[in-house]
Structure 1
Amino acid sequence: MRSLVRAVIVEDGKLLCLRFSDDVDKDTFYYMLPGGEALKVENIFDATVRHCLDKVNLNVRVHDLLFVRDYEAHRFDGYQSNQVREIEHIFLCHVIEKKDKLFDISTDYSQVEVEWIPIKKLTEYAFYSQQLSEMITSFCRGDVVDIYLKE
């Protein structure tokens, strides 16, 4: 099982997202929350802070746990594809220090940009996962939402 973290960072009605190019069609894009895998030597709060600094160059304070996303992913280890259970802890984070630049091209080979997406239009974007985009939109509207997302 892999433990991953993601950050929900909202400012002025917009959600901070990473934009990635598709591996097959470089003109097709999809969006994700900043985050990634927690290392075995760190807790999930430290991992969230580290990934925000690495991926979007922001120093954040981790606040509320918004969602726990439980799903099976396909991982390729160089020889074969394996199914792996992944658990994502998705936290509401607040920016405590902004850097000059939000994005460094060297962070991830397929990451092409950092983009602030209007929350009201989030479900219109190719956001991974669609279920998560719907839950974030509902949460930001003030709706009562389930914390556990199983896909």
Structure 2
Amino acid sequence: MNLRNAAKALIQRGDQILVTENIDDKGLWYILPGGGMEPGKETLIDALKRECQEEIGADVAVEDLNFVREYITDNHEGSRTKGVHLIDFIFRCSVDERYNASEAPEGDSIQVGVKWMSISELKNLRFYPKPLLDYLDSESGAPPIYLGDIT
């Protein structure tokens, strides 16, 4: 089993979240910007800043750690890979108020764009991890930090 740590940026403006738009053989899907860290070479914060620069073309101000999400591929039917234990550290971040998502660089081979999208829009689309949206949309106060093994 391969262990992979990743840092993700939760960037909100009002009721909108900044997401990367990606494509596969099933169509479009959305995730928070960020990605895997290079073990032994960078911290989670360094990885998050590097990945955001690559994916959204912006410097981010990293604030608090808000969520920790695990994804064990062998536990989820339909997972394209097996033998991976992914741990996402989701940090609240901000970008300059003049940031324009339409000017973001082209990402990797699957990333086709960057968008501001509302929580209600994302609930009807392929957004991962989807349970995160319920916590963000909740009026119940402080969310739990540890989300568990979710898709």
TM-score over 0.5 for the pair: yes
Measured against the shorter chain, the TM-score band is: 0.7 to 0.9
Displaced runs of 4+ in structure 1, greater than 3 A?
Answer: 96-102
Cα distance in 2 between the residues matched to 1:65 and 1:116: 21
Cα distance in 2 between the residues matched to 1:45 and 1:2: 15
Cα distance in 2 between the residues matched to 1:42 and 1:125: 33
SS in 2 for 1:58: coil
SS in 1 for 2:54: helix
Q: Which of 11, 14, 33 is equivalent to 1:12?
A: 14
Q: Equivalent residue for 1:32?
A: 31
Cα distance in 1 between the residues matched to 2:99 and 2:143: 33
Cα distance in 2 between the residues matched to 1:19 and 1:84: 23
**Aligned pair 1:149/2:147, yes or no?**
yes
Q: Equivalent residue for 1:83?
A: 83
SS in 2 for 1:54: helix
Structure 2 counterpart of 1:39, which letter? E
Cα distance, 1:16–1:84 mapped onto 2, change above 3 Å: same
Instruction: Tell me the percent identity.
Output: 32
Unaligned runs of 5+ in 1: 75-80
Q: What is the Cα deviation at residue 144 of structure 1?
A: 2.8
SS in 2 for 1:9: strand
Unaligned runs of 5+ in 2: 75-80
Q: Is the contact between residue 135 and residue 145 of structure 1 (CA under 8 Å) also seen in structure 2? A: yes
Q: Equivalent residue for 1:60?
A: 60
Q: Which of 3, 6, 16 is equivalent to 2:5?
A: 3
What is the TM-score when the length of structure 2 is the normalising length? Answer: 0.82
Cα distance in 2 between the residues matched to 1:31 and 1:57: 17
What is the TM-score when the length of structure 1 is the normalising length? Answer: 0.82
Q: What is the Cα deviation at residue 130 of structure 1?
A: 1.4
**Aligned pair 1:104/2:102, yes or no?**
no
Q: What is the Cα deviation at residue 34 of structure 1?
A: 0.2
Q: What is the Cα deviation at residue 58 of structure 1?
A: 1.0
Q: Deviations over 1:68-102 (max 9, x none)?
A: 0112136xxxxxx5411111100000114856764
Tell me the matched-pair count.
Answer: 139
Cα distance in 1 between the residues matched to 2:97 and 2:49: 12
Cα distance in 2 between the residues matched to 1:65 and 1:129: 16
> Bigger CA drift: 6-15 or 121-130?
121-130
Q: Equivalent residue for 2:78?
A: none
